[in-house]
Amino acid sequence: MDQGTWQLVLDSLGPLLSGTVRGTIPLTAASFALGLVLALLVALMRLSSIGVLRAVARFYVSIIRGTPLLVQLFLIYYALPEFGATWDPFPSAVVAFSLNVGGYASEVIRSAILAVPRGQTEAALTIGMGYATTMRRIVLPQAARVAVPPLSNTLISLVKDTSLASSIQVVELLRKASEIAAPTYEFFALYGVAAVYYWVVCLVLSFAQTRAETRLNKHVAR
């Protein structure tokens, strides 16, 4: 790279960091939090004794896992306004990513719940605990240890998937890089810097995942 390109890269570090902090990270956090709530609900529906709930949950998971995330994003932002449901770019992205996380994470949570010995649930119900109390105090704490690694991977994937939000005009990291690169045609340099930013965020999350797994294992060991 020549001196002008290096100067452009240096000048772009601040704006790209702003795009990460103000766009990518909030989008990831909001989508993952809402997605986890939805995933837990869908997982419990999949485990329900009510056939209709199981069928609805299976259908939802099938749709989410069987269609591209970009198509889901376009359906929320571009297609729903045809039916009067108009969304701004950022909320549209949050809804689309949350629905996507909910579909994938629900299977992780369901598997983690099934990994808890059924006898513990039966014992809790026998001593008078209700279903909700049993799930909250007995099952979910144990399931969390099993679910942390795959859910962490889902979160890391979500960080990278947020780059798709640039296609619906959400001002996040990739969008910022594109805006800076467009008038200068320095796409390789700017997209390279954006890739480094994504990499650093994922490294931080990977470190947090390792720490969380270590703490959970220590807690179980006690």
Domain spans, the chain: 3-221
> So what's the pLDDT on residue 165?
96
> So what's the pLDDT on residue 1?
59
pLDDT cut 90: percent of the chain above it: 67
Integer-rounded Cα Rg, in Å, for the chain is 21
- Please give the angle made by the CA atoms of 130, 33 and 23, to the nearest 5 degrees: 170
The H-or-E segment that residue 183 falls in is none
**If you search the block for the tokens 């859910």, which residue do you land on?**
151
The DSSP code sequence of 113-167 is HHHS-HHHHHHHHHTT--HHHHIIIIIHHHHHHHHHHHHHHHHHHHHHHGGGGGG
Which amino acid, residue 188?
F
Terminal alpha carbon distance of the chain? 55
Class of CATH domain 3-221: mainly alpha
Which amino acid, residue 198?
Y
Which amino acid, residue 9?
V
Measured over the CA atoms of residue 99, residue 100, residue 102 and residue 103, the dihedral's sign is positive
- Which residues are CB-contacts of 208 (< 8 A; sequence separation ≥ 6)? 152
- pLDDT by residue for the chain (222 residues), tens digit each? 567 788 889 999 999 999 999 999 999 999 999 999 999 999 999 998 899 999 999 999 999 999 999 999 999 999 999 998 888 999 999 999 999 999 999 999 999 988 888 777 778 777 777 777 787 778 888 888 888 889 999 999 999 999 999 999 999 999 999 999 999 889 999 999 999 999 999 999 999 988 887 777 665 544
